[in-house]
Amino acid sequence: MLSTESNVTALIIALRTEDRRAHTLVVDDLVRIGQPAVEPLMAVLDDPNPNVRSGAARVLGKIGDLRALGSLIFRLRYDSDVEVRKSAVWALHMGGARSVGPLIEALCDPDEWVRFGAVIVLAKIGEPAVEPLISALQDNLPIVRANAAETLGRIADYRAADALVKALLDPDDDVWQQAAVSLGRLRDARAVRHLIRIVESPDSGLRTKAVKALGHIRDVRAVDPLIEVVYHEHDRWMRLFAIEALGRIGDIRAIEALVDCAYDDIRDVRTKAIVTLGEFETALATDALYSIFEDMDLDAEDQQTALFELGKRGDPRAVDGLIDLLQFDPKVDNRIYAALVLGEIGGSDAVDSLIDALCDDVPDVADHALKSLVKLGRSATEPLLHNLHESTNAERRMWVVRALGEIGSEQAIAALMEVALNGTETWWVREEARAILSRLGYNPHTSAGADSY
């Protein structure tokens, strides 16, 4: 069996492999060895083979021994191989505040992935990086200023807000646009005008982020530009994010556009628009949902989405449609969801359909129907008692017994006691009632109350 030292040496040699999967496996083995591997790995950070240097940097970053920090910083600054610098930049997370300066330097690395790594690691370091990043907004290089602005947005520390507002005046497009998006993450309304400019600029690579930022800020000035995106943008994701942003803002001017989107050619857009309508707390949106549900020219799934949104609002017009779904829809998930929503709406028709669903062939549907009946509590008790006395179906009576046990009211307990003492009741229904009574602390063999043993 190889000693630890020999094993480390063999694994370091194996880092020379060009096979990426094998390289990763070797890295993982060295990480498992841990501290005994640190000094040998530091020694090979200047190995002529870049695969060895890159692998050593990855392992040292994962082990997190600060003895390696200086060597890793050196590799990030001066190594000519991109893969080595990429490994070094991710490894610097272990240095915390001590890594901030070198990472800010890396914001202008020639390789975009090294720059991206520096942004992410600085964001993970968080608070210690804020002030240095604010200073970096004044750097001579636009690429550093832009990356500093992005990182401050990821950290989302409000100390950066004023500096980011000043960066909105930066002459470089990448800088002011990143500053605007970062202010959006901070929900700072001072960025709204600039974010709208980005959304209206077809050449910007930040349009999607700007749309999302406008949704976070929730300023009504963004409504009309977002509606324009919904109607005229070709990019599907842009439209979806614009619909979501309109839902967050909640201005009724968006309702007409959302209704139009319910008839869009793209299913994702239709679904998103209908669900977003459900977020508007106005009668206008409720009526719009009902009209979509009633429109027989629409796809059945879109009608169903509108029905569920209508039901979630507690609109009684949804009850009949939800009952139909609960009773007849072949999709189990739809029946379960219908049971849950009917439990929110309530009413005698909803209760009766939920009691019927206790005998559904799919246990999950029956279970969710039971939960909804329990949630309805007192309003479900009388119909349950009626079924207990009138139904000739033993399985149905057993589920009713379970529901009454979950409700646990005085009236429900009395009914369970009656079942438990009824010699003509089906034996397994009677035993179910007795088991429930015992669990609740009642003696199922006597008509006395709780704790009478």
Per-residue model confidence as pLDDT tens digits over 283-337 = 999 999 999 999 988 888 999 999 999 999 889 999 999 999 999 999 999 999 9
What whole-number distance in Å separates Cα of residue 368 and Cα of residue 383?
17
- pLDDT the model gives residue 203: 72
What whole-number distance in Å separates Cα of residue 355 and Cα of residue 350?
9
Q: Is the pLDDT of residue 205 over 90?
A: no
What whole-number distance in Å separates Cα of residue 27 and Cα of residue 4?
15
Sequence-distant (≥ 6) Cβ neighbours of residue 442 within 8 angstroms: 413, 416, 417, 449, 450, 452
Is there a common fold for 1-125 and 136-233? Answer: yes
Q: Is the pLDDT of residue 395 over 90?
A: no
Tell me the average pLDDT across 369-396: 88
Q: Which CATH class is domain 1-125?
A: mainly alpha
- Categorize the per-residue pLDDT at 452 as very low, low, confident or very high, splitting at 50, 70 and 90: very low
Tens digits of residue pLDDT in 60-110: 999 999 999 999 999 999 999 999 999 999 999 999 999 999 999 999 999
Q: Is the pLDDT of residue 451 over 70?
A: no
- pLDDT the model gives residue 446: 59
Q: Is the pLDDT of residue 1 over 70?
A: no
Q: Is the pLDDT of residue 386 over 80?
A: yes
Q: H helices within 251-392, ranges in order?
A: 255-261, 267-277, 283-294, 300-312, 319-328, 332-345, 348-357, 363-376, 378-390
The H or E element spanning position 99 is: none
Mean pLDDT of the chain: 90
Q: H helices within 64-191, ranges in order?
A: 69-78, 82-91, 100-105, 112-125, 130-136, 142-155, 161-167, 173-185
Percentage of residues in the chain with pLDDT exceeding 90? 70
What whole-number distance in Å separates Cα of residue 319 and Cα of residue 187?
39
Supply φ then ψ for residue 265, to 5 degrees: -75, -25
Q: Is the pLDDT of residue 261 over 60?
A: yes
Per-residue exposure over 75-93, b if at least 16 CB sit within 10 Å of its own CB, e if not: bbeebeeebbbbbbbbbbb
Identity of the residue numbered 302: D
What whole-number distance in Å separates Cα of residue 77 and Cα of residue 176?
27
- Categorize the per-residue pLDDT at 393 as very low, low, confident or very high, splitting at 50, 70 and 90: confident
Q: Is the pLDDT of residue 239 over 90?
A: yes
Tens digits of residue pLDDT in 329-371: 999 999 999 999 999 898 889 999 999 898 888 999 999 998 9
Tell me the average pLDDT across 168-183: 92
pTM for this prediction: 0.75
Tell me the average pLDDT across 112-141: 93
Q: Which two tokens stand for residue 367?
A: 């279970």
Length of the chain, in residues: 453
- 136-233 maps to which CATH number? 1.25.10.10
Tell me the average pLDDT across 256-261: 95
Supply φ then ψ for residue 64, to 5 degrees: 80, 25
- Categorize the per-residue pLDDT at 3 as very low, low, confident or very high, splitting at 50, 70 and 90: low
Domain boundaries along the sequence of the chain: 1-125, 136-233, 382-453
User: Is residue 238 a contact partner of residue 230, using CB atoms and an 8 Å limit?
Assistant: no
Tens digits of residue pLDDT in 17-52: 899 999 999 999 999 998 999 999 999 999 999 999
Q: Is the pLDDT of residue 449 over 50?
A: no
